[in-house]
Amino acid sequence: VGKGHGFAGVVSRYGFSRGPMTRGSKHHRAPGSAGAGTFPSRVYPRKKMPGRWKTSRRKYNRVRPLKLDVRHSLLWLQGSVPGKTGNIIQISPV
């Protein structure tokens, strides 16, 4: 499971460009329009909006096993592994 980033806005979560910072603008890091108001009177699914960011499961293919210690049930890996230090990861054949 990847490392979560908590609650994030659209600028950091999706890379939206921010609005003007001067001349009376109040649209600095806001998402902009959420869609039409009268029709369809709802927000479409998969609309990019603020929310919790990156806590999903990830798959990495470029991780190689280096050493296996059966006695202590340890496996040393070479490469980038997602998540925090000490997390449990699932290893499966490709």
Express each pLDDT in 31-68 by its tens digit: 988 999 899 999 999 999 999 987 777 777 888 889 99
pLDDT of residue 3: 73
Q: How many residues does the chain have?
A: 94
pLDDT of residue 80: 83
Residue 1 pLDDT more than 70?
no
pTM comes to 0.58
pLDDT of residue 39: 92
Query: Do 68 and 75 contact (CB within 8 A), yes or no?
Result: yes
65: left (phi over 0), alpha (psi -120 to 50) or beta: beta
